[in-house]
């Protein structure tokens, strides 16, 4: 029997080598070359480990045990296979490797579970490529909005719909929102993922169980339109400076944010993109246009809506006071998600039996588990301690922590599966 830790290290290393970015980190573009290469590498390992595998109609990869005969709804162990540009190797991949180790371990121990276990490598989770997250899981469950297929690639003249078609996904079925599985056809969804915040390192927790996942509201692009003019010739009272308008908006929103936090609300706000157009900006030109993104996240859907409405109200007020105009692209909403209480309970109890203190933690970052949970599928997540955040090559996960998390998931599934009998 292959040593599980050795096997994990080998798969991580091989996928890293296959998807190395030419500059730094790994790049597994959603529906692009690196993602496909990573999938092929996983398929190679599935074959080597005598597991069955296949792509579904939307080109997500499924792996399961050869002698699996049960046609009961499966327990899915999933995560995403894509990465952000020049990202880290463990983001997403860790959850899939955990699933493969669990299948392998069950095989070697000759253990059966009542409901079959299927590992799912989901494509297109990262919004960095097409401004839309959870594409693979949303398509799978038939909830990917048709309009999302028009989203453009971050730097190429290619739409999401074209990219999906290029990799062989059944684009007509996706457009028709045809689910490949109904929620009733999935027993549970489990995902192991590195923590992307600093809490577990600070608290010295090797693993933790996730209670819920923050939702978000986004605009990929808001335009503030003012009036360009000569910086020396136009007096203050005649200016319509788009940059000052956006600056005032952000300052006001930052103050609202501070107050809402004081009131005990869960909230984070980010403007990650903000620029004046290169073709018209100059040191001596009053900015007549600013393009920026807007994102707010919270564990509470009500708080999301409240803060979003505040943002729109402030835009209207600034339009009046500064003579500018705000134009919004489509609002993208992902609701906050709760993890399943029963799954959380099973994981906590299982950890206790292994003398492992399992703390609970909310997830600030979004995950495919959101989509499963919000479509009525009992979902659970295990976080693994990770240094230096994620979405960068400096992410740092200890393989020992990963093995603790993987074993916890395996024991938890066996316990959960027993309780289903």
Residues in contact with Zn ion by the rule CB under 5 A: 91-92
Q: Which residues contact 85 (CB under 8 A, 6 or more apart)?
A: 21, 27, 29, 128, 154
Q: How far apart are CA 311 and CA 271, in angstroms?
A: 12
Nearer to Zn ion, 374 or 390 (CB): 390
CB of 192 to Zn ion, least distance (A): 11
CA pair distance 210, 339, nearest whole angstrom = 7
- Cα Rg, the chain, nearest whole Å: 23
Q: How far is the CB of 163 from Zn ion (least distance, A)?
A: 19
Which residues contact residue 51 at a Cβ distance below 8 angstroms, ignoring those fewer than 6 apart? 63, 64, 65, 66, 100, 103, 104, 107
Residue 396 or 415: which CB sits closer to Zn ion?
396
Q: Which is nearer to Zn ion, 133 or 224 (CB)?
A: 133
**Please, which residue, 91 or 291, has the CB nearer to Zn ion?**
91
Neighbours of 23 (CB within 10 A): 9
Nearer to Zn ion, 32 or 92 (CB): 92
Residue 394: strand, helix, or coil: coil
- DSSP result, 44-100: HHHHHTTEEEEE-TT--EEEEETT----SPPEEEEEE----TTB-SSTTHHHHHHHH
- DSSP string covering 127-152, please? HHHHS-S-HHHHHHTT---GGGGGPB
**Closest to Zn ion by CB, 92 or 378:** 92
CB of residue 91 vs Zn ion: minimum separation in angstroms? Answer: 4
How many other CB atoms are found less than 10 A from the CB of residue 166? 12
Closest CA to 181 of 150, 136, 126: 136
Task: State which residue, 239 or 391, has the beta carbon closest to Zn ion.
Answer: 391
Please give the Cα distance from 140 to 100 (Å, whole number).
20
Q: In the complex, what is the shortest distance from the CB of residue 107 to Zn ion, in angstroms, rounded to a whole number?
A: 27
CB of 193 to Zn ion, least distance (A): 6
- For residue 177, the 8-state DSSP code is T
User: What is the smallest separation between the CB atom of 366 and Zn ion, expressed in angstroms?
Assistant: 8
Query: Measured from the CB of residue 130, what is the shortest distance to Zn ion in angstroms?
Result: 16
Q: Tokens standing for 409?
A: 């998931």
- Looking at the Cβ atoms of 85 and 92, the one nearer to Zn ion is 92
**At its nearest, how many Å lie between Zn ion and the CB of residue 406?**
17
- Residue 276 vs 363, nearer CB to Zn ion: 363
Could you tell me which of 157, 138, 140, 156 has the C-alpha nearest to residue 148? 138
Q: How far is the CB of 225 from Zn ion (least distance, A)?
A: 35
């Amino acid at each position: 029997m292959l040593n599980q830790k050795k096997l994990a290290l080998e798969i991580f290393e091989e996928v890293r080598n296959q998807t190395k970015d030419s500059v730094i980190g790994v790049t597994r573009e959603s529906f692009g070359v690196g993602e496909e290469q990573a999938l092929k590498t996983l398929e190679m390992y599935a074959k080597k480990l005598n597991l069955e595998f296949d792509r579904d109609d939307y080109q997500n990869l499924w792996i399961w045990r050869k002698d699996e005969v049960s046609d009961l709804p499966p327990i899915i162990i999933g995560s995403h296979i894509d990465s952000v540009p020049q990202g880290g190797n463990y983001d997403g991949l860790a959850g899939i490797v955990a699933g493969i180790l669990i299948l392998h371990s069950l095989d070697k121990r000759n253990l059966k579970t009542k409901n079959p276990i299927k590992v799912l490598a989901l494509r297109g989770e990262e919004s960095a490529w097409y401004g839309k997250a959870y594409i693979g899981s949303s398509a799978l469950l038939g909830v990917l909005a048709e309009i999302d297929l028009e989203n453009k690639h971050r730097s190429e003249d290619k739409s999401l719909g074209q990219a999906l078609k290029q990799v062989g996904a059944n684009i007509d079925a996706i457009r028709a929102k045809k689910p490949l599985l109904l929620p009733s056809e999935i027993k549970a969804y489990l995902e192991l993922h590195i923590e992307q915040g600093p809490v577990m390192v600070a608290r010295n927790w090797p693993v933790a169980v996730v209670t819920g996942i923050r939702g978000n509201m986004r605009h990929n692009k808001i335009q503030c339109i003012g009036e360009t003019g000569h910086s020396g010739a136009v007096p203050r009272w005649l200016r319509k400076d788009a940059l000052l308008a956006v600056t005032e908006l952000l300052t006001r929103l930052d103050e609202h944010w501070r107050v809402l936090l004081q009131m005990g609300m869960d909230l984070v706000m980010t403007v990650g993109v903000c620029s004046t157009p290169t073709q018209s900006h100059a040191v001596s030109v009053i900015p007549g246009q600013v393009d920026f993104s807007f994102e707010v996240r919270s564990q509470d859907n009500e708080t999301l809506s409240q803060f979003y409405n505040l943002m729109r109200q402030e835009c209207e007020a600034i339009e009046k006071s500064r003579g500018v105009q705000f134009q919004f692209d489509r609002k993208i909403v992902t609701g906050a998600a709760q993890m399943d209480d029963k799954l959380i309970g099973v994981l906590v109890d299982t950890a206790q039996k292994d003398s492992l203190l399992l703390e609970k933690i909310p997830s600030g970052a979004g995950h495919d588990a959101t989509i499963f949970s919000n479509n009525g599928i009992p979902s659970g997540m295990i976080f693994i301690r990770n240094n230096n955040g994620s979405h960068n090559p400096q992410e740092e996960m200890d393989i020992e922590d990963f093995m603790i998390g993987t074993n916890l998931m395996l024991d938890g599934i066996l316990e959960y599966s027993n309780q289903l009998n």
